[in-house]
Amino acid sequence: MSKNIKNIIYKTLSKAWATLLEINYDYRFKDGTWKRVSRESYDRGHGTGILLYNIEKGTIILTNQFRMPIYHTNKDEAMSIEVCAGAIDDNDLPESTIIREVEEEVGYKVRDVKKVIETYMSPGALTEKMYLYVAPYSEDMKVSEGGGLASEHEEIEVMEIPFTRALEMIESGEIRDAKTIILLQYAQINNLIKH
């Protein structure tokens, strides 16, 4: 690939919450011609997400929270139903990040998480790679009501729902978040929960 790209110039457009770059470069196309290309890239680090499931009850844990980028484009869909997720801090491991996020957001203390996939959610614009996990949960793991951290301006509704209902919510459009759909479909394909 390095033979097909040269003369890369980075320009920082913003370093507010994350880093927005304009990247200009020369790219050689399949026909051999070189063209100057300009793209914007948003770097907010990498993230984690997890589907918590209870085999005995046939339930899962999801969150519901306000998402400003969705509100900006579609006010009626601004509340987003998602798996528990969070950004990876500078030197943290994805596994320790998701274990911490589960306790903060949904109030469960999980130990054993299984990574199922690493994926770029929107590679045309975002540098973020998501590390996606699954883990069983039970009532004896519950340590708080969850809801997120006030210091991070989080207000998260914790939802425990039947797995079958969650699958219906994909079909109805109530769940539109890609990481959540990926993990629910992983659970369905791999028969994690009897339904």
Same domain, 30 and 73: no
Query: What confidence tens digit (pLDDT) does each residue in 103-158 have?
Result: 999 999 998 999 999 999 999 999 999 999 999 999 999 998 777 665 665 688 99
Residues 6+ apart with CB under 8 A from 6: 25, 26
Same domain, 109 and 18: no
Q: Has residue 179 got a pLDDT over 70?
A: yes
Same domain, 91 and 107: yes
Backbone angles phi, psi at 121, to 5 degrees: -80, -35
Range with the poorest average pLDDT among 85-99, 102-116, 144-158, 167-181: 144-158
**Confidence (pTM):** 0.91
Give the amino acid at 80. S
Give the pLDDT of residue 149.
61
Range of the domain at 12: 2-43
77 is in an annotated binding site: no
187 is in an annotated binding site: no
Q: What is the DSSP letter of 150?
A: G
Pair 159, 106: CB distance under 8 Å: no
Helix (H, G, I), strand (E, B) or coil at 77: helix
Same domain, 19 and 56: no
Same domain, 35 and 110: no
Give the pLDDT of residue 111.
87
Of 167, 163, 159, nearest to 55 (Cα)? 163
Same domain, 75 and 32: no
| 16 part of a folded domain | yes
Same domain, 6 and 93: no
Q: Has residue 183 got a pLDDT over 70?
A: yes
Same domain, 98 and 67: yes
152 is in an annotated binding site: no
Pair 60, 165: CB distance under 8 Å: no
101 is in an annotated binding site: yes
| 194 part of a folded domain | no
CA Rg value for the chain: 19
Same domain, 169 and 125: yes
